[in-house]
Structure 1
Amino acid sequence: MEYIAKPVLLGLLVAAILVLAFPQFRPQTDDDVTDLMTLSQSNLGTDWIGPVSYARAVSRAAPSVVNIYTLQAARSRSDASNRISLGSGVIMQSDGLLLTNHHVIEGAVKILVLLYDGREVPATVVGTDPEIDLAVLKIEADNLSPIALGEPSQARIGDIVLAIGNPSGIGQSVTQGIISAKGRNGLRLNIFENFIQTDAAINSGSSGGALIDAYGNLLGINTATLNNVGSTGISFAIPADAAAKVLTDITQYGHVVRGWLGISAHFGLASNEQGITKIFGVTSVEPGGPTAKAGLIPGDIIFKIDGFPVTDPHASINQITNVTPGQPVKLSIIRQDTVIEFTVIAGNRPLH
């Protein structure tokens, strides 16, 4: 027994020293497992709020997205066959007002809307705005589900977005991506451009559909995809607030109301004591237009609009068109090395 007791006691003593020196050798209790789980979860970061699934967002928004089928008139005598084209649309109001792209219904002699619940109803055109590529349609149907509007101005680059539409006519589909950029312009797709860029796929037939946030709120109307070689994952949507203004103006006035100054100008750079300044050089003034009445002449150099320096052509154009006709616009100009301040009363942009 003496020979057995001594090794056992020695082993227990070594084990006790190891446990004290190295706590990881201790057996795990239920409390230890809970602590490890808490630690593991804490490694996710306290600001993690993203959902694992976006099914709730889709189920909230999908009933508001419709498929649009149009019958296009024959192109010419040599091509007398009618054509069917595909697109998507978004229910904006419970009374049956929809938004889609102008190019989806352009030239259509008949428009058919397929609702989420399977009903098919004809649609009429209330009005269009080709300059931003939007159209307002009207359908007569009960129990419609208007989409909830989001806040594109608050959306951030990197936010998750979902595109809902009818790609290639296969039926309603959802693609997922992020906001890649905001305020995209200069693409020469429309006269007025202020796109949300996303890598969510917007395929043929999905134009006019909804770009929603992770909660099912409308952020934009899906409009276009770059199809150039090497441009995979570059799609664009018209911000929902701009689209909502088009709908309101068309239903209230019959057309979109935009501010107008009545000048033609070229964008350029000019040097001054502070360095290089971005400017608009006035090339012509519309006779009887707002700027002509205020006293501007060709050759004037505009370097500020309402106190804001000229930054780029599209931002300045949007700044002017967003002014309500009848409201004053202050222009800071240089004429023969002299700075002059003009107040121009914005007019209503002529229809094109």
Structure 2
Amino acid sequence: MRAKTTLLALTLAAAFGGFAATAMRDALQQPAIATPPAAAAVPMLAALPASVDGQALPSLAPMLRQVTPSVVSVHTKQRVRVSPFGNDPFFRRMFPELSQERINESLGSGVIVDAAQGYVLTNHHVIEGADDVSVTLADGRTLEAEFIGSDVDTDVALMRVKASGLTAIPLARDSNLQVGDFVVAVGNPFGFGQTVTSGIVSAVERSNVPGVGFQNFIQTDASINPGNSGGALVNLRGELVGINTASFNTQGSMAGNIGLGFAIPIGLARNVMTQLAATGSVQRGTLGVDTQTVDARIAQGLGLDAPRGAVVTRVYGGSSAANAGLRTGDVVVSANGQRIDNSEALRNFQGLQALDAPVTLEVLRDGKPMKIETRLRALPRDGASFDPRLAGATLADLPEAIRRQNDRIGGVRIEKVEPGSRAHNNGLREGDLILAANSGEFRDLAGFRDSLASRPADLAMRISRGGRIYNVIMR
């Protein structure tokens, strides 16, 4: 029980910013009144020299004058109905007139990345569930924001504002970022307004943050506090290197910054933004394999020197992995030069790649190294392509953050169901989770599709809806 409590605390501690900070701001805005002693006047402090040995003192001010017009404050409003009967569905239906509308407000940050189009990048969790979103520019103008799309698995969202005189920030190249580089975070912490903090890059390619989806974070000791979410992490040239997204503290994010901040690399954010701008959603490719982490027992059985890598336990028919010649028993130890230590690392690698991206896998087959060239192929999501009885349903994998909370969780999510469609008439509804089917075992969309390849004459599925389990016969 203690371990579960600790895990929950760590997960909540990594909770994102972008929430209302009104109460804290009001408290902090009450000035403390100090009465100076009536003693002798305090001597004036000597001013810093403008230069030393003929060299001007370094300052970030010139760079920040170029950057800060691109960073905006994001304001969201969400309308919710509150009933004195809580969540009891019976009494809520019996006495709807007793329910009252309440507006939840929250604050976050965003970055203008395309002045001509008015594109603003922020975090998914900043605008999630919002009914109204507006942004306040550095010059004081407040504008309504149009939601373009978001990706929960990378926590990236794209908005658009219509205004003249916007200033976009230049984007950096990920490959140039190194541990030890100086970086500056700009955002709207606690609703105070635009604030600048500085630090260094503490690490790159972090992928072990609890409760988050696909991960490739920049870690920094620049203070990233609640409300900084969606703001800019820039280098000393004033280029955007990342989108600030999370702070980590075992006491919770409201306890303050302890030098563990995380930002989404701009290369990843740019790839997601491109898809969102084009289609409003993000598609991901897959190798089409199931894998298992190589532990000491598996390493001994395969004759490996060390327990490292992801061993292939299943290759789906017709997948890119099958076409490339990947086999059951192969151990993946590297992908595009990135070290793969376990099954989670390989899954995370796939989730971060652009659609149809080329992939070079380094594998051990019978203990001997070899390379396999392949690509990540996107799976169709319309139910009819899986089975005619699912026509009208749009399918999706579980959000990665949910799956990471418990590796035993698996299934397929019903993202949308067209009214009157065959899937709708068979009893499927938006938000349903397909946990199992008599067609075979599966853990994700690729496995579900593979299980239905033989078109079973009778199809029965176990569905989770609103915390309850149903058995559905598909006709």
* Shared fold per TM-score greater than 0.5: yes
Aligned to 1:291: 321
Query: Given residue 78 of structure 2, which amino acid in structure 1 is its aligned partner?
Result: Q
Change (3 A) 1:334 1:212: same
Aligned to 1:212: 234
Structure (1 or 2) with the larger CA radius of gyration: 1
Deviation, structure 1 residue 132:
0.6
Change (3 A) 1:309 1:113: closer
Deviation, structure 1 residue 90:
0.2
Aligned to 1:29: none
Aligned to 1:240: 266
If the length of structure 2 is used for normalisation, what is the TM-score? 0.57
Does the CA-based 8 Å contact 2:191-2:227 persist in structure 1?
Answer: yes
Whether 1:93 and 2:110 are equivalent positions in the alignment is: no
Deviation, structure 1 residue 206:
1.0
Change (3 A) 1:161 1:347: same
Which has the higher mean CA deviation after the structures are superposed, 103-112 or 118-127? 118-127
Partner SS for 2:276: helix
Change (3 A) 1:308 1:119: closer
Which of 147, 165, 183 is equivalent to 1:161? 183
Partner SS for 2:197: strand
> Aligned-residue CA RMSD in angstroms?
3.2
Deviation, structure 1 residue 88:
0.3
Aligned to 1:256: 282
Distance 1:291 1:65 in 2: 42
Distance 1:325 1:300 in 2: 22
**Identity percentage over the alignment?**
36
Aligned to 1:124: 146
Change (3 A) 1:150 1:206: same
Distance 2:244 2:114 in 1: 18
Deviation, structure 1 residue 281:
1.9
Which of 341, 356, 365 is equivalent to 1:325? 356
Aligned to 1:46: none
The number of aligned residues is 306
Provide Cα deviations, 1:186-218, integer angstroms capped at 9, x if missing partner. Answer: 113432111111111111111000011122211
Provide Cα deviations, 1:256-306, integer angstroms capped at 9, x if missing partner. Answer: 343311222122242577732622122344454333455656554334546
Whether 1:84 and 2:114 are equivalent positions in the alignment is: no
Which of 207, 224, 233 is equivalent to 1:202? 224
Change (3 A) 1:302 1:315: closer
Change (3 A) 1:221 1:330: closer
Which of 168, 173, 177 is equivalent to 2:199? 177
Whether 1:187 and 2:209 are equivalent positions in the alignment is: yes
Deviation, structure 1 residue 135:
0.2
Aligned to 2:453: none
Change (3 A) 1:50 1:341: farther
Distance 1:211 1:340 in 2: 39
Distance 2:337 2:217 in 1: 25
How does 1:267-278 map onto structure 2 within 5 Å? Answer: 267-269=293-295, 270=299, 275-276=305-306, 278=308
Distance 1:107 1:316 in 2: 31
Which of 107, 112, 119 is equivalent to 2:129? 107
Aligned to 2:332: 302
Aligned to 1:348: 378
Does the CA-based 8 Å contact 1:184-1:193 persist in structure 2?
Answer: yes
Does the CA-based 8 Å contact 1:331-1:342 persist in structure 2?
Answer: yes
Which of 63, 67, 77 is equivalent to 2:69? 63
Partner SS for 2:64: helix
Give unpaired runs (5+ residues) of structure 1: 1-39, 43-48
Query: Given residue 274 of structure 2, which amino acid in structure 1 is its aligned partner?
Result: T
Distance 1:50 1:81 in 2: 54
Distance 2:293 2:123 in 1: 30
Partner SS for 2:290: strand
Partner SS for 2:168: coil
Query: Given residue 100 of structure 1, which amino acid in structure 2 is its aligned partner?
Result: T
